Amino acid sequence: MQRSTAIFVFMLVLCVAGCKGNRKPRETEHAFYYWKTVFAPTAYEKRRADSLGVTTLYIRLFDVVWNAVKKMPEPAAKLLVKDSTWLLQKKIIPVVFITNECFYEQDSAQVAQLAKNITGLADKLAAQNGFGAYPELQLDCDWSETTRDRYFQLLRAVKAANSQRALSATIRLHQVKYKQSSGVPPVNRGLLMCYNMGDLQQEHVKNSIIDVQEFQRYIQRLSTYPLPLDAGLPLFSWIVIFDKGRFAGLIRNTTAVLEHTPAFKRTGSGFSVQKDTMLEGRLVKAGQFLRPEHSDISAVKKVGALLSERLPNSRLRVALYHLDSVTLNKYSLYEMESIYNSLY
């Protein structure tokens, strides 16, 4: 009897191992975000994207911001394309960023009008720049429980007006974990933003961009999320500034090295400013505290692997944020390839 049981267990292990080994790899589409007002990528940026097999670009088309004087939302930072030749070789997904403030004082009729304005301007700018037949539109808004209903009304209206296209929305980690209160947006797909997972404005936080332990706190029920999800992973870095323990700003896309610089002294997880100093064009003052944060390659790959285990998709688009020389110079081609590979 014992021998029969042992044989059965052995055969079961072989079967499971064989099934796992023969499992078809997930089909992964390589993408980048391009988050600048002017589309004019350098030759280096284009070579890097092409070398990584990037077929898709998420292009920030314009922002929608709240005008406190006019008491209405309005477009800002519209995209200007200066290099359409390379752009039009890619699948282009326009992205419209909407601030949460745009929904605080809007009624149903105003939200419906906003949806028309967004779709109209998106179509106009896309057509002007040669990609009027774009297959998907993405809306990016960190909605709250307070603004959820109006934002979801906007999504339904945009989706109805663009029935020939897919509509996607960015999803924050807290919106997945607390989906009962956050709700699930009425779109075709979501893109899970696997970054900005810590409280940026708290001085004691080690790295608010990406933290594997923090990520694990949010994804326990990810496999049951009722939308197909794509993945957004970070490459960016910044320096967070604190003044007397309070958040005082950000220095983005920095190449500054604070270590072994007389004006900065290592203090815990960051640096204290020893004297007033210009840093990347910004004045930092004596007594302030600087916390450099970056997208550590090992952390990004671990987050990718954890995500891969929990996403049921047979097809997945992985978008790195974002296509910029300062950012790309910090990683080898192999390292960026390994991020994409972590989700196969």
Domain boundaries, the chain: 28-236+297-341, 238-294
Q: What is the DSSP letter of 58?
A: E
Number of H helices, E strands in the chain: 11, 18
CB contact burial 158-167 (16+ within 10 A = b; e otherwise): bbebbeebeb
pLDDT of residue 1: 44
Q: What is the distance between the alpha carbons of residues 290 and 274, in angstroms, rounded to a whole number?
A: 11
Q: What is the distance between the alpha carbons of residues 300 and 243, in angstroms, rounded to a whole number?
A: 29
What sign does the dihedral 234-103-111-129 (CA atoms) show?
Answer: negative
**Could you report how far apart the first and last alpha carbons of the chain are, in Å?**
42
pLDDT of residue 24: 61
pLDDT of residue 14: 39
Indicate left, alpha or beta for 130 from its phi (over 0: left) and psi (-120 to 50: alpha).
left
Write out the H or E segment, with its range, that includes residue 135: none
Q: Which residues contact 274 (CB under 8 A, 6 or more apart)?
A: 262, 263, 264, 265, 286
User: Are 214 and 167 spatial neighbours (Cβ–Cβ below 8 Å)?
Assistant: no
The length of the chain, given as a count of residues:
344
User: Are 239 and 256 spatial neighbours (Cβ–Cβ below 8 Å)?
Assistant: yes
pLDDT of residue 49: 98
User: With DSSP H G I counted as helix, E B as strand and the rest as coil, what are the percentages for the chain, rounded to 5?
Assistant: 35, 30, 35
Instruction: Write down the residue that tokens 């105003």 correspond to.
Output: 110
pTM for the predicted model, two decimal places: 0.91
Distances (CA, A) of 212 to 22, 49, 237, 307, 344: 29, 26, 16, 11, 19
Q: Which residues, listed in sequence order, are joined to residue 60 by a DSSP beta bridge?
A: 95
**Helix, strand or coil, per DSSP, at residue 144:** coil
Distances (CA, A) of 235 to 32, 110, 113, 222, 296: 10, 37, 36, 23, 8
Residue 269, exposed/middle/buried by CB under 10 A (0-12, 13-18, 19+)? middle
Q: What is the distance between the alpha carbons of residues 103 and 109, in angstroms, rounded to a whole number?
A: 12
Which residue ranges of the chain lie beneath pLDDT 70?
1-24
Q: What is the distance between the alpha carbons of residues 33 and 62, in angstroms, rounded to a whole number?
A: 14
pLDDT of residue 8: 39
pLDDT of residue 25: 77
Q: If you classify domain 28-236+297-341 with CATH, what class do you get?
A: alpha beta
